[in-house]
Amino acid sequence: MEMKNVVNKTVLITGGAGFIGSHVVDQFVDHGWKVIVVDNYTAINSGYRNKQARYMDVDILTDAFEKIWSENAVDVCIHLAAQVSVAVSVKDPYIDAKINILGSIRVIELCKKYKVGKLIVASSAAVYGMPQYLPIDETHPTNPLSAYGVSKLAMEKYLCISGVPYVILRFANVYGERQTAEGEAGVVAIFNKNIRQGLDIIIDGDGRQTRDFVYVRDVAKFVYEISNSDVICETINVGTNRQTSIIDLFYILAGIYSYKKEPCYVKKRVGDIKDSLLDNQKCLSFVPSFKFSSLQEGLKNMIMYDSINYR
């Protein structure tokens, strides 16, 4: 994959004040890009600001969003803005679809109108639904089990027929610094907060269910590498191709913290997927030198960050 030199390039990042987005912003700033962040700050974990980026408190469905496009020559757009609450998607599916589907269409159409060089969108392993085989590669059938997964798949379909140069990135279970334990948090953030505070750990089922945990800084680095490449019109899994059980995750974190309590087990949640693992061969074929952090390394970095910021 050919990497391009960056000279006076501009990236527009929707949802760039959030958990994943803030790390993506850091990557582009560190590589000398002009960075414009569009975020309406409604997400629980929004609010991280890089002093060298320009932040716009704007909803992507408003006229103010197009004004940003008309006033700036955008080379690359990274679309991370989304409604991720399962509770909201069930209670108000209209709002969920408005933000995740209509909002994405708006981004796609503005990319087309203003001739953006590349649009990179954040999708999810949730589009696959119940795995038919492991590891899940990009040709695996898509049959989402949640409104979130449906909205991500709809975004993908609209993008593929848009004519806009695109890359779809399907993320595994992302964890790391700046992820809160509130709202629709991942199990890593919840375990980390409770163990740090000496609280009980609750595990659904027997804890043997597995996930592919991918470190947020690795995700951000891959987003940058793909942005600054000649790769277009591709759908790519972004994961480690490593399975970790929930109980093993607990014991790794407990060991780092010297946490002595045993977890409390409760009834398995209905509809939970037992195992999820993304095949990352395609991902690594585009960036052969790319290396994913081990879970232990990522967790230690996250805990070090927390020790400074959450005393």
Residue from 56, 163, 166, 76 nearest 121 by CA: 166
Q: Where are the beta strands (DSSP E) in 186-304?
A: 202-204, 210-211, 213-215, 234-238, 244-245, 264-266
Residue from 197, 290, 175, 152 nearest 244 by CA: 175
Residue owning tokens 């987003």:
223
- Would you call 148 a catalytic residue per the annotation? yes
Distance CA 194, CA 121 (A): 32
Q: One of 48, 55, 128, 148 is an active-site residue; which one? A: 148
Q: Are strands 210-211 and 244-245 parallel, antiparallel or unpaired?
A: antiparallel
* 304: alpha, beta or left? (left if phi > 0; alpha if psi -120 to 50): alpha
Amino acid at 27: Q
Q: Which residues are catalytic?
A: 148
